[in-house]
Structure 1
Amino acid sequence: MPLQRLLIDRARFRALAPEDDLHQALEVPDGWQPAQLPGCVHLDLLRNGQIPDPFFGLNEAAVQWIGERDWLYDCTFELSAEQLAQPYVELCFEGLDTFAEVYLNGAHILSSQNMFVPQRAAAKAHLRAGENRLAVRFESALRRGKALEAQHGVRAVWNGDPSRVYVRKAQYHYGWDWGPRLLTAGIWRPLYVEAYQARIAELHVQPSLSDDLARADLLVQAHIQGEAESARLTLYDPSGALIESVQVAPLDSAVRHTFTLKAPRLWYPHGYGAQARYRVVAELIGARGVLDRRDVRLGLRKVRLVQAPLADQAGTSFYFEINNVPIFCSGANWIPADSFTPRLTATRYHEWLKLAVEANMLMLRVWGGGIYEDEAFYELCDELGVLIWQDFMFACGMYPAYSEFLENVRAEALAQLKRLRHYACIVLWCGNNEDYQIAESLQAYDPDFSGAFAQTAFPAREIYERLLPKLCAEHDPTRPYWPGSPYGGKSVMDQTVGDRHTWEIWHGNIADYQDYARYSGRFISEFGMQALPILPTLEAFTAPEERTLESAALRYHNKASEGFMRLNHYLTRNVGLADALPEYAYLTQLVQAEAAAAAFESWRLGWREHGKRYIGGALIWQLNDCYPAISWALVDYYLRPKPAYYRVKRALAPLALILSAEGPKVTCWAVSQRLQPLEATLQLDCWSLDGELRDQIRAVVPIGANGATLLLTHSAPSAELCVWSARLWQGEQIVARTARFPEPLHSVDYSAARLTVTALGEGRYRLSTDRPVRGVWLEAEDADGRWDDNLLDLLPDEPREICLTVGVGGVRRVRWYGGFAQM
């Protein structure tokens, strides 16, 4: 009989005190409520009307008791005599959060202490035909962590309760500077029973590409549990056509075969080529047919992390080559898209990743304080061509390295390596987030020491420099490993080696965002600026009377230390303050947009020709939110882009113009990710602030491939303040444009501009102005409306058309720096 899988998706649950006996609790008729699986206790309580929405107002504080209790989940399921007669019957838990004891028909069968380790238990001896009862007791992760902390000592952390470093659970559940403290528990990933004669316990396809990419060898290895006569291995090309099928006899519970491809079709990140993926199917064959079947979709690509000397600067490069093509990896950091991850669906992942691709982002960094994402996330990244920098789940803490903890981490890393290694999108495994940085701040990190790490003040180096790289080399040798982020050189702040987190702007000395170029690195894996979300999102988590700048609810949803003080600092220096919430929100959004563009543009200029690839990538903190908040996110929890999203989209365009000004002199650059040089016509205009064209230059310019090209330098015709605009033409089409306004923004009054918004039908609008105007933002009537472009700088001779691409209705209001109009 083929493998049968019985999904268990319904249960009941109740709270327990630590001293409560599980078996007695199961017999108590009162206090039970229905639960959905997969899920978590907060969602079950919310669904049953037992708690208020933790995301609204101050409700987070009112639900803290949940993380301090134990919880019991109880479910029944039916097995037939035929299923029970199979040689193997097993209970499979893809995720238990976190400290769990599992009982089947009264017998203890499993203990778990790691949210990230799937569990499988032989169950046949405890099962019966008909109804069976499964009970799972979840102990408070906070209480268990505190007990481990009492045993092993308090360790330093940034964010959250310090006991979290002892608990292999999503660290952001303990609260972060952008998210709430919501300590979940539950069966957070699928639960099922498998009954079988034989199964494919593991299917691994390890590709090897020749240096010239003309040949690929695909080593297929299938590990078998149970008895099968043979295995059939089949390879299909990216269009679905059969390439080859072979039948192999198992040897020592495994089968192996190598497929060879000549001129293989390769997988590329979007914008560089197709996302071709082959499919390998493995089938176990018994006397009566197929016993089990698994398949893997596989993108073939060669990854190299290039750290080489530079022609004329100290240090070494840090950039990725995909299929021998050097790539500037622009993009963002990714956090879990919900505090309650069981409600994330493939559809929602697709919406998020589509937003990233449409913003011209090539890479997302899956940050180390969250989760190893669901397969749907990585499958979509493969499909859409998004590169993934994958952290292991350690963040901002001094983690221990005693033997039991190391074994727990080993099981976690091995499980995740085997689960995720066939995804082409993942191009780097990284040991942690900011653990070297916190160690350095405590003077606990000596980069020259290589002895017994576990005996030092920074014991987790045993994990990051020995355990994890060894496991990666053994189980996933096709991509590089990096010990941490940031990491490199004698200090994590080194600007010449490795990757860097640039937080001198916002954190640190609260430097001006106009100075991002001063705080560069070989790869900037974090930087960012906070902003409020759009008004419908603010309204979603506040009552009407709380929609003021002084409201407790508003401030409660900014988790950053001194968040509003830092927002006000950047407003004061650049755009001025506002008393009303709508105007204040817009001003923070404008500053966030300007800061993000200043960073990306300055660092893209560090991507030059071979030997001068000074900066290999920049990942903004952060793309997304886990709940509705005031944070660094470009897109809020409800998938609503902030204005900065559109500004970043233009800054990361495959072909973009960059203007820099110093006094009356302006310099124009082009940055291109195209792999062939091109020629275009550059038009550079100088506008007075009242809308008079003072100067214009047109020139045919060559633009180099895959890098930054200096196009021209020019001086203004007078010392008066002016606005520069640049447009790049190919034939009659504008292929890139930008503008440079005087800094800081509040040095000019733009309120006199006469802005016209004309509805053209079918969601399209034309915007025009009589003089230069900054930051034109159209607010859609539909709270979830999205545009093909927004937050525009307008010039007198260049009306712009934009279109509402998601949502219905029209424009509710238009804002710009210095004014707004209700529509």
Structure 2
Amino acid sequence: MIAQVLSDNWQLRQRSPRATLEEDLASHKGWIPATVPGYVHQDLMREGVIPDPFVGLAELEVQWVGDADWLYRCTFEVDDELLRMPYVDLCCDGLDTFATVWLNGQEVLHSDNQFVPHRAAVREILREGSNELWILFESPLRAGRRLQEQHGEMRAWNGDPSRVYVRKAGYHYGWDWGPTLLAIGPWREIRLEGYSARIDTVRILHEVAPDLSSAAVRLYLGLEGDLEGREVLVRLLDPEGHPAHTDLIVARNHIEHEFDLQFPHLWWPRGHGPQQLYTLQVSVREGEATLASRTLRTGFRRLRLLQEPVKGEEGSSFTFEINNVPLFCGGYNWIPADSFTTRVDRRRYERWLRLAAEGNATMLRVWGGGIYEADAFYELCDELGLLVWQDFMFACGMYPAHEEFLQSVRREAESAITRLHVHPSIVIWCGNNEDYQVAQSIGAYDPDISPEEARDTFPGRMIYERVLPEVCARLDPSRPYWPGSPYAGADPNDPTQGDRHVWEVWHGQLAPYQRYPSFRSRFVSEFGMQALPSRRTIEAFAPPSERYPESRTLDHHNKAQDGPRRIAVYLSDNLRAPCGLAEAVYATQLVQAEALAAGIRGWRREWRGRGRYGCSGALVWQLNDCWPVTSWAVADYYLRPKAAYYVVRRELAPITIGYSREGSRLQLWCSNLTGEPFSGQLEVTQWSLQGEKILQTSLEVNAPAYGSVELGEAHVHAFRTTVVGLRLLAGGSVIARAASWPEPLKYLHLPKGGLDVAVDGQRLRLRATRPLKGVLLEAEGDVTWSDNALDLLPEDEQVVVAEGLEGEIQVRYLGDTWN
């Protein structure tokens, strides 16, 4: 097979409503150079036609782009060798969204789904010499509204409601953390493929035996072209590159091939074992000549989603098990890393995913209002051992179910599963994000009737309970399918089964974050708290005159409904009012960190051991941002971690100490996510705010593998002004730390000073003479901190490595300025 990528000589222009298509394409005016793959906005920015919508209020100035139609054109010459092939196809891997394509004046394909790749036979249309390719992209906003007029307006949270009729990334319409930027363009590769035979699809499924000693492998191949007299060579190489299986098969259009692997090298989640990957090589051969080939990597693991009784409680568990090992899945929700995803290359994916992995994440949830991410994302998750909860792309809306729409969804699901199923990191397919909650909120969800009976009231059930589970069962029965997130049957947010989005904190009742553990769930798939991004990030989008809390620009860069007001509630409840931008950044990040820690700490307590897994996961909303913004992310658009990133990392460590404080009562527990029982000592020290040691005790800790253990209670002396330090020790080393502070923090009268920082190159020694809350280290440039946002106590020196540190260090902690 020969491929010719069509990435050069592209131009674009806005479609004129006053001209015919032929007149527009023939015109010499208004064309600008275009990048393919790419988006219209990016080229308009490069040419100075529009401002950067990420800066200031410029988003408002570029809304016309999404309301216009756009033309792309390119000229190219076909490689002679490609023209000699018996078959030549034009391949468009992604057109966003309503697109019609012409080659040499002849229409060859039409697209109305961003997520479906297209292929058209063009051998007879191509010619020697110059060829011309045209693409017309219609405004998704206007196209969606036409469909809405035809079928009726549906309820949607976030964005224009017509978006539910458009198979396009929902967040492009604006979300409560992202701008309204209706990206348009060829967002994935366009190329010509010439061949006499080609490999259309490769699916490799496996089932690992319960004792992990073998794996039954099933290979499904789809071939096209001239296959008579040709053979297919299948080779599977183990992680060291040694042949694990080889076979030669007579070529035909559909091939099913089964074989067994003895003692397979298993793929494990991060922290539980190595990420061992096999290489599958498939080639179509004629004699010694290779006509077409495909190579992919995959991994073998035993996957189960356990929904079992929980001892002494109603409902059932929701626990992922890999290779017979139960997992507490701490981690994050993932949104697209840019409003214009063509800017996210493999290196940027790697930086984000390494940040998650190094933050002790076990799982990422690819949220349903974005995109099925690029191959690089999933390849990196495979390599890093990050589990992936994969939503289908439906979010916060009442989606239609007319037949044309269902057919488009079916093609989309088939494409996504066929491309992504090879990745061992993906452990669940999920139908949607919060669509059952939308239906429930308007009284449209009745679980006692069938999806067919609900077609007029809740048509999306035809997608989530008919189309998607059928496609998953047919193409990838090895993974569980879950109808939605959250979902639990009769009540989508039932705390006793399924997964749950815990938004009583922040949304809903604006509950205190200290109550997070009381909002119980078998699996918390969303919870979060907003915080401002770093000062450097704010300086990148806000002009100097707007760099103050609640400025018009800062409010514009907070897309949550009542976002600034809700932040103010949580600041008011917990801290004294900050008086400037630097103080506001610190204060919101401290509150975010404290809130997320409270949730994770409490939910890990419920992971008590086999038969008692009351909660088996906590996924923070969210890891990342798609633009510079105040949001729930723990790292901002420029990959600058907030204080919460470091605090969450400590709370997701393999072994942690947990506590719950009410008045003078301090309940203690130890959580162990590892496969080995833990034995050690817990040192409990009570300190006055001035640094006087009040009391020190210790107790033995014996924590079971894969579970938590209660350690009893401690009495806190002078509880309104006493800080309790907790250190878990084993073999002379500190395994985990925690510090219980009297709350709310705003009532504390904190002395000044008390911190000594000794700098030796990139190594910092931090010593405190009194309890210090939220010690945050900052420096100019890109510094990677080994730890940060620390609670420091006397007699407990901590060492931080600052990789890349060159200049001075700025240190901030609670009470050092405005408190």
Query: In the alignment, what sits opposite 2:726?
Result: 726
Query: In the alignment, what sits opposite 1:177?
Result: 176
Identity %: 49
| One-letter code aligned to 1:794 | L
* CA offsets 1:650-699 (integer angstroms, 9 cap, x no match): 01001111122222222221111111102112211111111111111123
Q: 1:811 to 1:704 in 2, by over 3 A?
A: farther
Query: In the alignment, what sits opposite 1:567?
Result: 567
Deviates more, 1:666-675 or 1:240-249: 240-249
Query: In the alignment, what sits opposite 2:797?
Result: 799
Question: Can you give the 5+ residue segments of structure 1 that lack an aligned partner in the other structure?
Answer: none
Q: Is the 8 A contact 2:177 2:560 kept in 1?
A: yes
SS in 2 for 1:55: coil
For 1:30 and 1:246, the matched residues in 2 are separated by 58
- Pairwise CA distance, 1:579: 2.4
For 2:754 and 2:377, the matched residues in 1 are separated by 46
- Pairwise CA distance, 1:719: 5.5
* RMSD of aligned alpha carbons: 1.4
Q: Is the 8 A contact 2:455 2:462 kept in 1?
A: no
- Pairwise CA distance, 1:786: 2.5
Q: Is the 8 A contact 2:672 2:678 kept in 1?
A: no
For 2:550 and 2:659, the matched residues in 1 are separated by 38
Deviates more, 1:191-200 or 1:449-458: 449-458
Q: Would you say 1:768 and 2:794 are equivalent positions?
A: no
SS in 1 for 2:74: strand
- Pairwise CA distance, 1:712: 3.6
- Pairwise CA distance, 1:717: 4.5
For 1:710 and 1:231, the matched residues in 2 are separated by 59
For 1:420 and 1:338, the matched residues in 2 are separated by 21
Q: Would you say 1:241 and 2:238 are equivalent positions?
A: no
Q: Would you say 1:814 and 2:811 are equivalent positions?
A: yes
| One-letter code aligned to 1:158 | W
- Write the mapping of 1:591-610 to structure 2, written as runs, cut at 5 A: 591-610=591-610
For 1:154 and 1:812, the matched residues in 2 are separated by 55
- Pairwise CA distance, 1:165: 0.4
- Write the mapping of 1:388-537 to structure 2, written as runs, cut at 5 A: 388-450=388-450, 452-453=452-453, 455-537=455-537
Q: Would you say 1:161 and 2:160 are equivalent positions?
A: yes
- Pairwise CA distance, 1:499: 0.8
Query: In the alignment, what sits opposite 1:144?
Result: 143
For 2:317 and 2:758, the matched residues in 1 are separated by 49
Query: In the alignment, what sits opposite 1:546?
Result: 546
- Pairwise CA distance, 1:315: 0.9
For 1:453 and 1:296, the matched residues in 2 are separated by 43
Query: In the alignment, what sits opposite 1:73?
Result: 72
Q: Is the 8 A contact 1:453 1:459 kept in 2?
A: no
Q: 1:84 to 1:648 in 2, by over 3 A?
A: same
Deviates more, 1:326-335 or 1:452-461: 452-461
For 1:524 and 1:424, the matched residues in 2 are separated by 22
Q: Is the 8 A contact 2:251 2:284 kept in 1?
A: no
For 1:569 and 1:820, the matched residues in 2 are separated by 21
| One-letter code aligned to 1:241 | H
SS in 1 for 2:485: coil
- Write the mapping of 1:253-402 to structure 2, written as runs, cut at 5 A: 253-287=253-287, 289-402=289-402
Q: Is the 8 A contact 2:114 2:168 kept in 1?
A: yes
For 1:215 and 1:747, the matched residues in 2 are separated by 61
For 2:452 and 2:735, the matched residues in 1 are separated by 57
Query: In the alignment, what sits opposite 1:699?
Result: 699
For 2:403 and 2:454, the matched residues in 1 are separated by 9
- Pairwise CA distance, 1:749: 2.2
For 1:511 and 1:570, the matched residues in 2 are separated by 9
- Write the mapping of 1:643-654 to structure 2, written as runs, cut at 5 A: 643-654=643-654
- Pairwise CA distance, 1:57: 0.2
SS in 2 for 1:218: strand
Q: Is the 8 A contact 1:215 1:264 kept in 2?
A: yes
Q: Is the 8 A contact 1:36 1:44 kept in 2?
A: yes
SS in 1 for 2:710: strand
- Pairwise CA distance, 1:288: 5.9
For 2:64 and 2:286, the matched residues in 1 are separated by 53
Query: In the alignment, what sits opposite 1:30?
Result: 29
SS in 1 for 2:479: coil
Deviates more, 1:390-399 or 1:207-216: 207-216
Query: In the alignment, what sits opposite 1:583?
Result: 583
| One-letter code aligned to 1:141 | P
| One-letter code aligned to 2:807 | G
Q: Is the 8 A contact 2:451 2:465 kept in 1?
A: no
For 2:18 and 2:431, the matched residues in 1 are separated by 38
Q: Would you say 1:222 and 2:221 are equivalent positions?
A: yes
Q: 1:720 to 1:442 in 2, by over 3 A?
A: closer
| One-letter code aligned to 1:36 | T
Query: In the alignment, what sits opposite 2:634?
Result: 634
Query: In the alignment, what sits opposite 2:115?
Result: 116
Q: Is the 8 A contact 1:93 1:190 kept in 2?
A: yes
Q: 1:764 to 1:719 in 2, by over 3 A?
A: closer
Deviates more, 1:541-550 or 1:242-251: 242-251
Q: Is the 8 A contact 2:529 2:596 kept in 1?
A: yes
* CA offsets 1:414-472 (integer angstroms, 9 cap, x no match): 11111111111110100000100010000000011115246331111010001100110
Q: 1:616 to 1:720 in 2, by over 3 A?
A: closer
- Pairwise CA distance, 1:611: 1.4
For 1:393 and 1:18, the matched residues in 2 are separated by 32
Deviates more, 1:158-167 or 1:16-25: 16-25
Q: Would you say 1:755 and 2:755 are equivalent positions?
A: yes
For 1:492 and 1:130, the matched residues in 2 are separated by 60
For 1:213 and 1:550, the matched residues in 2 are separated by 57
Query: In the alignment, what sits opposite 2:683?
Result: 683
- Pairwise CA distance, 1:544: 0.7
For 1:41 and 1:702, the matched residues in 2 are separated by 60
Q: 1:489 to 1:206 in 2, by over 3 A?
A: closer
* CA offsets 1:387-408 (integer angstroms, 9 cap, x no match): 0110000000111101111111
Q: Is the 8 A contact 1:222 1:282 kept in 2?
A: no
SS in 2 for 1:555: helix
| One-letter code aligned to 1:590 | L
SS in 2 for 1:819: coil
| One-letter code aligned to 1:636 | D
Deviates more, 1:14-23 or 1:561-570: 14-23
Q: 1:455 to 1:699 in 2, by over 3 A?
A: closer
Question: Can you give the 5+ residue segments of structure 2 that lack an aligned partner in the other structure?
Answer: none
Query: In the alignment, what sits opposite 1:789?
Result: 787
For 1:702 and 1:547, the matched residues in 2 are separated by 51
| One-letter code aligned to 2:238 | D
- Pairwise CA distance, 1:477: 0.4
- Pairwise CA distance, 1:360: 0.5
Query: In the alignment, what sits opposite 1:738?
Result: 738
- Pairwise CA distance, 1:813: 1.5
For 2:377 and 2:485, the matched residues in 1 are separated by 22
Q: 1:20 to 1:208 in 2, by over 3 A?
A: farther
Q: 1:820 to 1:786 in 2, by over 3 A?
A: farther
- Write the mapping of 1:118-133 to structure 2, written as runs, cut at 5 A: 118-133=117-132
Query: In the alignment, what sits opposite 2:251?
Result: 250
Q: Is the 8 A contact 1:13 1:74 kept in 2?
A: yes
Q: Is the 8 A contact 1:640 1:786 kept in 2?
A: no
TM-score with structure 2 length normalisation?
0.98
Q: 1:720 to 1:73 in 2, by over 3 A?
A: closer
Query: In the alignment, what sits opposite 2:715?
Result: 715
| One-letter code aligned to 2:198 | R
TM-score with structure 1 length normalisation?
0.97
- Pairwise CA distance, 1:192: 0.6
For 1:573 and 1:150, the matched residues in 2 are separated by 46
